[in-house]
Amino acid sequence: MDEPRPIQVLFVCTGNICRSPMAEGVFNHLVKQAGLSDRIISDSAGTSAYHVGEATSRGTVLVLRKNGIHFDTTSRQFVENDTLAFDYIIGMEGNHANWARRYARLTGGNPVIARLLDYTTEWAGQDVPDPYYDDTYEDVYPLVLSGAQGLLAAIRREKSLP
């Protein structure tokens, strides 16, 4: 019997160097802790091409490392086929989610598209603030952690995973 295709999650922010890589790193860490690395994979992308090919911001890398997560990636831009390849597209802001919805309509893709903080009880309906300009990575981390925990719990329920 063939193994089922892994559930694929894409985190999206503007430049793909701060928030979405932070979410990807935190989420991957939680997935690994849950023993689901063979069932769930994730990636991140930016709506803009500002930072394509650049490494994750130093602030994100440091706050992840401080929290026991060693993660670094290279920025890439969201492409319209992402709406066909990913099962979940999770925006850091409402406009990122809306942007992905527009692409999904163009491609006919049908991923779950939501804001990360919609998977929390305390911050539902809010955007993850951008720490790039004011160096608020420490403030953003608990928001991302809570959203990633809620997202993983939702995926486990929806996909009947242990």
Which amino acids are annotated catalytic?
13, 19, 130
Cα angle value 113/118/83 (rounded, 5°) = 10
Phi-psi region of 16 (alpha: psi -120 to 50; beta: other; left: phi over 0): left
Question: Do the beta carbons of residue 17 and residue 51 sit within 8 Å?
Answer: yes
Q: Of 107, 104, 99, whose CA–CA distance to 20 is shortest?
A: 99
The crossing angle, in degrees rounded to 10, of helices 58-66 and 19-33 is 30
Start-to-end CA distance of the chain, whole Å, equals 20
Cα separation, 88 vs 4, whole angstroms = 16
